[in-house]
Amino acid sequence: MAMTELPNRLPEGPVPRIEGERSAPAALEAAAPEHDVLSDVLRTVRLTGAMLFLVDATTPWRSQAPPARAFAHHVMPHAQHLVSFHIVVRGHCWGGLSDEPLQPLAEGDALVVPHGDAYVLTSQPDAAASYGDDDAVAFFRRMAAGELPAVVTEGGGEPQVTSFICGFLGCDARPFNPILWSLPRAIHLPRVTRPGDRLSHLLDYAMAELRDRGAGQRDVLLRLSELMFVEVVRRHLAQSGAEATGWLAALRDPLIGRVLSRLHAKPDHPWTLESLSKDVGASRSTLADHFAQLVGQSPMHYLAGWRMQLATRLLAEHSMKVRAIADQVGYASESAFSRAFKKHTGSTPQAWRRR
């Protein structure tokens, strides 16, 4: 799939019932234990490490990257989308998106670029660039191909050194990736690491692996990039205020978190707004209003989109017949599923599989 532009919020509009879904039984089954929704989404959007490397920069220096669509096909040819994160492990610098004011970054701070925007890390906001976008693309191509060492040195050679880890991951953006849609263009997380916590241990492991090249290093670094990104997302979720909205904020909401857990645990279940409200012990109006306020769409719209994301993964990774996939994601017939799939993706299931 080609790289895609992301919408800045979930699709809107009422979906009172999903066409072609199986009929609801007379009584719902007993509610399952709370489902790990974040893990479910990360797995289903196929989050995969692409690169992890360390930069040792001496002042003056300026590290910059063009929009990810300029180099993503070199880094992960089959990924729809590329996400990056950057963690300062020594010293301090400035960082942010190329078209926005840069922010100071200290040791332990992280900069996340979820939507593939052009970004900058630099010793000073006015430091001159020593290379252009074409050079950056060539660098990423060679790094992804394993032609460069995992530790990169750059800068003017003065004594002051700043070191930062750069991680890149591929994932699906279409037809439905609620994590990406809920994140801003850039996230600055102060003090994302603390002595002795999980992320600090992951960083220590990564630093040792980066500086001591050994057999299997590439695979180890890619797995570490995935783990570090998930931990950074957790920190972002933990640091969000009580007034925060969006899908990540919805995960920790007592009511909507339970609703999302039910939908993800049983995506093939013939849910209705009424059955959901009974299952979580809330009125239909309260559930619908609060879900829309946090997530940006109705529960049934969300379920329809999530079913399509599950279906695209099954189409990409398995040789199952379309009829079997339709059954797994809650549709009573192949034709009803195919109509819904084309409505959400603009493509038939067979065409999506061929791509």
pLDDT recorded at residue 319? 86
Q: Is residue 104 reached through a cis peptide bond, with omega within 30 degrees of 0 on the bond before it?
A: no
pLDDT recorded at residue 193? 83
320: three-class secondary structure by DSSP: coil
pLDDT recorded at residue 39? 93
pLDDT recorded at residue 242? 66
Q: Residues with Cβ < 8 Å from 151, sequence gap 6 or more?
A: 53, 54, 55, 56, 210, 211
Distance CA 167, CA 83 (A): 8
pLDDT recorded at residue 23? 47
346 torsion bin: left (phi>0), alpha (psi -120 to 50), beta (else): left
> Which amino acid, 145?
A
- 36-49 burial, b for 16+ CB within 10 Å, e for fewer? ebbebbbebbbbbb
Distance CA 207, CA 200 (A): 10
* Polymer length of the chain: 355
Tokens of 126: 């006015």
The pLDDT tens digits of the residues spanning 46-56 come to 999 999 999 99
Sign of CA dihedral 261, 267, 273, 277: negative
Rounded (to 5) percent helix, strand, coil in the chain: 40, 20, 40
In order of start, what are the domains of the chain with their CATH numbers? 43-239 (2.60.120.10), 246-354 (1.10.10.60)
Q: Are 177 and 85 in contact (CB under 8 A)?
A: no
pLDDT recorded at residue 32? 43
Helical (H) or strand (E) element with 120 = strand 119-122
Among 279, 315, 321, which residue's Cα sits nearest to residue 299? 279
pLDDT recorded at residue 4? 45
Spell out, as residue ranges, where the chain has pLDDT lower than 70. Answer: 1-33, 242
Using CA atoms, how far residue 28 sits from 25, 32, 287, 331, in Å, is 7, 11, 18, 18
> Which amino acid, 255?
L
- 245-281 burial, b for 16+ CB within 10 Å, e for fewer? ebbbbbbebebbbbbbbbbbbbbebbbbbebbbebbe
